[in-house]
Amino acid sequence: MVIALGDEGDRQWVKDFSASNKSQAVYELATWLDSLGLRLTVMVKPS
């Protein structure tokens, strides 16, 4: 489950991204990083 911060436009962007081929690239990047003993992390930017 993805929880998006922001307005409806931001939430729509997340839905569109997850339905595109771009989301597969993120999973492939995470898998590649995992094979190197690394982890992909997304954090909220400090304000």
Rounded to 5°, the CA angle 6-12-33 comes to 85
Mean pLDDT of 26-47: 88
Q: Is the pTM of this model over 0.85?
A: no
Domain count, the chain: 1
Domain of residue 7: give its range. 1-47
pLDDT at 33 over 80: yes
Could you give the CA distance from residue 47 to residue 44 in angstroms, rounded to a whole number? 9
Q: pLDDT by residue (tens digit) across 3-18?
A: 556 666 666 766 776 6
pLDDT of 40 higher than 90: no
